[in-house]
Every structure is written in structure tokens, then in C-alpha cells.
Amino acid sequence: MILPEAATTPCRLDRLPEAATRADLEASYAARGAALVMCDSARRLAVDTLLAERALLDRWSEPPGRRPPWPLR
């Protein structure tokens, strides 16, 4: 199973520009929150991919007679 690109992309830390204004601070605050949410989404994507891959291997390694009814979920 291919790991999505989003799962391997580093999270992003938004930083203040030079001579920052209050608008910059507020925008940066919002951008950091957005980055956190997207980073968590990418983390969940990576974990789900890993768990799905493990489940796939578990199902594949089960003897045919013991395989759960199709489809599993």
C-alpha cells in the first residue's frame, strides 16, 4: 500500500514576517491553527494507512477457512 504524499510531508510552522503588524500576528495565529489541523489530518492518514496495511496482511495470512465473511467492513 502506497503511503500518501501528505503523510510524508513535514508539518509547517508559520512564522512572522519582518516588521510584523498586528494583522500579521493574527494571520499567523490562524495559519498555525490551520497547519495543526492539516498536520493532524496527515498524521491520521498515515496511521490509517499503516493500520489498513496490517489488517490486509492479517487477512491475507489467515487460512481460507478462517477468513471473515466478505467484505470485512
Partner 1 sequence: MKPLDVFRTLTPPGWGVAAALALAAALALALALGQGLGLRWDPFGLAGRRLAAAQARAASAESDAAARRLEVEAAADQARRLDLHHQQAVSVAVATDRAETEARSADDASTPLDPARAARLREHDRRLCELAPAVCGAAPDDPARGGDDSVPARPVA
Whole-number Å distance between alpha carbons of 67 and 19 = 63
Q: Looking at 23, 61, 68, 69, which residue binds partner 1 (CB under 8 A)?
A: 23
Q: Looking at 65, 68, 69, 71, which residue binds partner 1 (CB under 8 A)?
A: 71
6 touching partner 1, by CB under 8 A:
yes
Whole-number Å distance between alpha carbons of 41 and 73 = 22
| Block residue for cell numbers 490562524 | 30
Tell the smallest beta-carbon distance from residue 60 to partner 1 (Å).
Answer: 6
Whole-number Å distance between alpha carbons of 22 and 24 = 5
Tell the smallest beta-carbon distance from residue 63 to partner 1 (Å).
Answer: 11
